[in-house]
Amino acid sequence: MIENREGNRVPEVTFHTRRGHEWVDVTSDEVFGGKTVVVFSLPGAFTPTCSSTHVPRYNQMVSTFSEHGVDDIICISVNDAFVMDEWQREQKADNITFLPDGNGEFSRGMGMLVAKNDLGFGKRSWRYSMLVKDGVIKKMFIEPDVPGDPFEVSDADTMLDYIAPEAAKPLDVTVFSRAGCPFCVRAKGMLHDAGIRFEELVLNRDYTEATLRAVSGPSTVPQVFINGECIGGSEAVEAYLRKAEAA
């Protein structure tokens, strides 16, 4: 049965984790004691919504949560330690703690263990997020109890809006570049100096000129996109940053 446990302590369980080639048991007290922690729990590693949206956005916003008093962000799923470790590597999410709830003990204690027999999953966690302070659950965002796998309220943005409503969210930035391009180096350097994280796509490795023309029009590089807007090359980036600094 899905239940809201705000005001209660998290379940006392032992998580069986792997560090390198060794088993390491970690207790709930070690995970939550004396810390402010954001937890998001989901039905399964490598599943579509979990891999494409849930984990990536929390991963992107780790530093923003840290700036507002969150000590750790934890992803929990009813999967074994080997699967969770491999999923963490695949997601490049080293700044998030992935905890395997292989036996479903934590999820059961949270009242979140549900049957996913129709998908061949057996017992899995319902999707939810929560803010935990020194082991006490302060806030929960639980997905609505409807068929399927709803994903409406347990996302990173909803949690950040609760913790710090006025917080500036990280920009979505992509740089289309080319190896050996000095203007690309300059644009990336300015973004780096401004503390703006970005993803880089390199010509003839990640895309072709046809792709660049399709998305931006010009085929010159760099082409920098910020929050869905094509800013342009290095001079345009410089003007954008100057304007942002003056605002």
Domains in the chain with CATH codes: 14-163 (3.40.30.10), 173-246 (3.40.30.10)
- In this structure, what are the phi and psi dihedrals at residue 151, rounded to the nearest 5 degrees? -140, 85
pTM: 0.87
At 2 the three-state DSSP class reads: coil
Distance, in Å, from the CA atom of 221 to the CA atom of 132, rounded to the nearest integer, reads 45
* The pair of three-digit structure tokens given for residue 166, joined into one six-digit string: 């006025």
pLDDT beyond 90 at 118:
no
**pLDDT digits 0-9 by tens, 62-78:** 999 999 999 999 999 99
Catalytic residue from among 50, 75, 181, 184: 50
Mean pLDDT of 2-15: 96
Q: How far is 132 from 212, CA to CA, in rounded Å?
A: 44
pLDDT in the model for residue 240: 96
State which amino acid sits at residue 104: G
**Would you place residue 12 in the very low, low, confident or very high pLDDT band (cuts 50, 70, 90)?**
very high
DSSP-assigned beta bridge partners for residue 19: 22
Strand 173-177 with 223-226, pairing:
antiparallel
Q: Which long-range contacts (CB under 8 A, 24 or more apart) does 218-223 make?
A: 221/176, 221/177, 221/178, 221/181, 221/183, 221/184, 222/175, 222/176, 222/177, 222/178, 222/181, 222/183, 222/184, 222/187, 222/188, 223/175, 223/176
CA-CA distance, 191 to 184, in Å (whole number)?
Answer: 11
Q: Convert the pLDDT of each residue in 95-116 to its tens digit.
A: 999 999 999 999 999 999 999 9
Phi, psi of 224 (to 5 degrees): -110, 130
50 is catalytic: yes
pLDDT grade, residue 1 (50/70/90)? low
The torsion angles phi and psi of 159, rounded to 5 degrees, stand at -65, -45
